[in-house]
Amino acid sequence: MQDEAIRKERGQRANARQDPRLDWWREAKFGMFIHWGLYAIPAGEWNGQKIPGIGEWIMYRARIPVAEYEPLAKQFNPVKFNAAEWVSLAKKAGQKYLVITSKHHDGFCMYKSDLTDYNIVDATPFGRDPLKELAVECQKQGLKLGFYYSQTQDWHHPDGDGNDWDYDEAQKDFAGYIENYVKPQVRELLTNYGPIAIIWFDTPKGITVEQSQALLDLCRELQPDCLVCGRLGNTLGDYASAGDNKIPQMAVEADWETPATINDTWGFKTDDHNWKSPPELIHKLVDIVSKGGNYLLNVGPTAEGIIPQPSVERLLAIGDWLKVNGEAVYGTKPGPIQGLAWCRSTARPGKVYLHIFDWPQGGEIKLSGPQATGAYLLSDASRTPLPIKSQSGKVIIKGPSEAPDAINTVIVLTLD
């Protein structure tokens, strides 16, 4: 059936659903994704040309030769980067984990690697290791830390996948690249930064079962608790990774996550102002959680090390909503009411949470619903009961005539 299909297509191994290593992640629901690298310097423009598409793909889209892209490192000096602020922003947004690009497809390492000088410590005037600083802050502030790592595509390495404008694909030793470059780098990432909660592999493309399995084995050997994202390839991941910005139509019986952008790009682009509104983002978070998924919401910091202000404002707005309504999100499961346009539901034992996106005229909420014994607004600390009655298989709740929360009002139904 569909659940099985999603697990398989999106990379969750068969028996992961019973694995308690994922319990914290199942509770967490909401994480911060950070796409940060040299691509933040051109920020969507190369030689005076606007390059269409997502910002971190500029090297590929404009077929920039390694010899021209590489020198960007000499300009990279994000002196405004402040790990404590980024981590504290994620916390204020209500995010429980953070995943940052350690090496994206452009091949530049955002951490100190001994495998190449093409890394932020050795190749830039900045000379600091932001992953180390983030690891320290995440420990301090109590946030789980994950690393994104592009295991197949590498447009800088002569044997990595994807760059056919500098290198001859037929001459590439991909197996050697995995063995002598990817594996030792994964070892660095899972050795030098303390406990790593997630390794977020991406775009497996032609990686073989044996290669995916060998990477998985290495992760298990180094940090058995580290979760491996389904984009490792070959259905070996700990959880399924939905398509970017994709939300399934129905609840899914799998552990799955939607990676998503706040505007249209992952890596910073000067001209991308297509910001989703706070209500849209809150609705997406709740939509995903009501279907059993996690929301990994991206920010793309600038070349100075600043998270764009529109992203900050939106994250804080989500955090404000979660401060009041987090009980209806964290640690919940999909609720019994599914498939309505104006309402979502989440649940935990003894409780169903109705998330009302469009408050009905007059405040009467009518549902083919569960046999509830009581109802109250989650925002109401005194839990004043709302009038509730059952009528020919329907549950009718009398709420205030105006929506208490213009974005999403949560009504708690108690069952017993």
Which of these ranges, 50-58, 65-73, 277-285, 396-404, lies near ligand JFZ under the rule CB under 6 A? 50-58
Entry field: residues in the chain: 416
CB of 351 to ligand JFZ, least distance (A): 34
Among 11, 259, 334, 399, binds ligand JFZ (CB under 6 A): 259
Answer yes or no whether residue 56 interacts with ligand JFZ by CB under 6 A: yes
CB of 59 to ligand JFZ, least distance (A): 11
Among 4, 217, 225, 244, binds ligand JFZ (CB under 6 A): 244
C-alpha distances (whole Å) from 120 to each of 18, 20, 136, 179 are: 39, 36, 18, 23
CB of 231 to ligand JFZ, least distance (A): 7
Residue number, 56 or 238, with CB nearest to ligand JFZ: 56
Among 239, 266, 359, 376, binds ligand JFZ (CB under 6 A): 266
CB of 148 to ligand JFZ, least distance (A): 7
CB of 239 to ligand JFZ, least distance (A): 14
Residue number, 302 or 414, with CB nearest to ligand JFZ: 302
What one-letter code names the amino acid at 129? D
Residue number, 33 or 376, with CB nearest to ligand JFZ: 33
- Name the residue with the smallest CB distance to ligand JFZ: 243
CB of 241 to ligand JFZ, least distance (A): 7
Which of these ranges, 51-59, 134-142, 327-335, 397-405, lies near ligand JFZ under the rule CB under 6 A? 51-59
Answer yes or no whether residue 302 interacts with ligand JFZ by CB under 6 A: no
The CA radius of gyration of the chain, in Å to the nearest whole number, is 23
CB of 56 to ligand JFZ, least distance (A): 5
Residue number, 174 or 266, with CB nearest to ligand JFZ: 266
Residue number, 150 or 345, with CB nearest to ligand JFZ: 150
* 345 close to 408: Cβ distance less than 8 angstroms: no
Give the separation between CA 78 and CA 99, rounded to whole angstroms. Answer: 19
CB of 375 to ligand JFZ, least distance (A): 39
Residue number, 54 or 252, with CB nearest to ligand JFZ: 54
Q: Among residue numbers 171 through 210, which ones bind ligand JFZ (CB under 6 A)?
A: 202-203
Answer yes or no whether residue 243 interacts with ligand JFZ by CB under 6 A: yes
Kindly list the residues in this chain that would bind ligand JFZ in the complex (CB under 6 A): 54, 56-57, 202-203, 243-244, 259, 266
